[in-house]
Amino acid sequence: MLDQKKVFDTLSQNGVSFFAGVPDSYLNGFCNYALTHAKDRNIITANEGNAVALAAGHYLATKEIPLVYMQNSGEGNAVNPLASLVDRDVYAVPMLLLIGWRGQGNTEPNHPQHKLQGEITTELLKVMHIPYRILTDSDEDFTLAAAEATSYCKETRGVFALIAPKGVMADPDKPNNTDGSYPMSREEAIEVILSHMPEDTIYSATTGRATRELFFLREKRGETKAHDFLNVGSMGHASSVALGIALARPERPVVALDGDSAAMMHMGAMTMVSKVAAPNFMHVVLNNGAHESVGGQPSAGHRIDFTKIAEACGYATVGHPVTTEEELIEAIGQLKDCKKASFIDCRIHKGLTRKLPPIIFDHREAIDALIDDLNS
């Protein structure tokens, strides 16, 4: 991994000292250093497009070149503002992009959700006429890359991307950081839900830890996985998949096991229940106030009132977050037959209950089992 102090010193020497983005495990060294040392000049945003727009506002107000960081899967969220807001033919807002390159070559054969993303990482930049440089694990090379990138931004008022392959900006050992904010872990909360919803309930689990914990809880409990949709990619869309299933199969209870960061990434999806009838749909946000899967950086999850937001969007709720196993059981009992789409903000602490191996499974086989179950 690059020496992160030298990385930030180099960026500062080139006039870059404002950062915005969505954390990525391939960038966890960078993200954690920014969190500790950049303080209020580092903004963790809801999604990558949000980061580009916020960075644009910073440039307009200061004429300082900002840096936007993201996983390569977030390029899709960033395309719109990159192409129609900051492009040189529109408002010509210069900025650096720092992109974690998941799926480069055959680096993640067990994670097909990164394969196409890896293949099109540089192609998307080419289509948008954004020059880029692929970083290496060399402090000297980073010094040259930062100088090239910032010179381009200053001279052209354009965007320049720095692409970080595996190991360049990330410590390979991610700590299991726990806290005592709330008594339940995510895995404990998921198990409570599994135990208190009907056996034929369909589950849509969000990207990251929730998918892994649901997968291994099924094995631990000796239960079928044919009722589960594991949203291994497309962060922020698990609840929409769940709602689509619920609308098509009103006889089946459907639960979205969402995360706070994922729910905020595409929070507009929550408004859909105001337009449709889905009494069999329950949306549970497993809210630990962190981007846990990529390094534990803080989210706004514990700062906002998801319950009031959900009520305003048309969900039935119990009127407050739940924080204990007993409160979660009571909320499930109150809401699962309430004749309306329902929502639970389930406050949990950070950290894993137990060390879990990566999920390795046949994605087509798993999804076909779910399709067969829903159509039998």
pLDDT tens per residue, range 289-331: 999 888 889 899 999 999 999 999 999 999 999 999 999 999 9
| Predicted confidence (pLDDT) at residue 256 exceeds the cutoff of 70 | yes
Predicted local confidence at residue 175, as pLDDT = 61
| Residue 113 structure tokens | 């959700």
Give the Cα separation of 236 and 249 in Å (integer). 22
41 burial type by CB count under 10 A (0-12 exposed, 13-18 middle, 19+ buried): middle
| Residue among 352, 287, 351 nearest 321 (CA) | 287
**Rounded mean pLDDT, 58-66:** 98
Local confidence band at 173 (pLDDT 50, 70, 90 cut-offs): low
Give the Cα separation of 344 and 332 in Å (integer). 8
| Predicted confidence (pLDDT) at residue 181 exceeds the cutoff of 90 | no
Are the C-beta atoms of residues 230 and 214 closer than 8 Å to each other?
Answer: yes
**Rounded mean pLDDT, 67-90:** 97
Predicted local confidence at residue 163, as pLDDT = 98
Q: Which helix (H) or strand (E) holds 286?
A: strand 281-287
| Predicted confidence (pLDDT) at residue 71 exceeds the cutoff of 70 | yes
- The pLDDT tens digits of the residues spanning 222-249 come to 999 999 999 998 999 999 999 999 999 9
Local confidence band at 174 (pLDDT 50, 70, 90 cut-offs): low
**Rounded mean pLDDT, 153-158:** 98
Read off φ and ψ for residue 256, nearest 5 degrees. -95, 120
Residue type for 100, please? G
Q: Candidates 3.30.9.10, 3.40.50.970, 3.90.850.10, 3.90.1300.10; correct CATH number of 4-164?
A: 3.40.50.970
Instruction: Give me the residue spans of the domains in the chain.
Output: 4-164, 186-375
Q: What percent of the chain has pLDDT over 70?
A: 98
Q: Distances from the Cα of 235 to the Cαs of 20, 100, 199, 205, 271, in angstroms?
A: 18, 15, 26, 10, 18
| Residue 288 structure tokens | 């630990």
Give the Cα separation of 106 and 9 in Å (integer). 33
CATH 3.30.70.20 for domain 186-375, yes or no, is no
Strand runs labelled E in 193-246: 202-205, 228-230
Predicted local confidence at residue 113, as pLDDT = 87
- The pLDDT tens digits of the residues spanning 102-132 come to 998 877 777 888 889 999 999 999 999 999 9
- To the nearest 10°, report the CA torsion of 232, 237, 243, 246: -10
| Residue among 212, 207, 311, 209 nearest 263 (CA) | 207
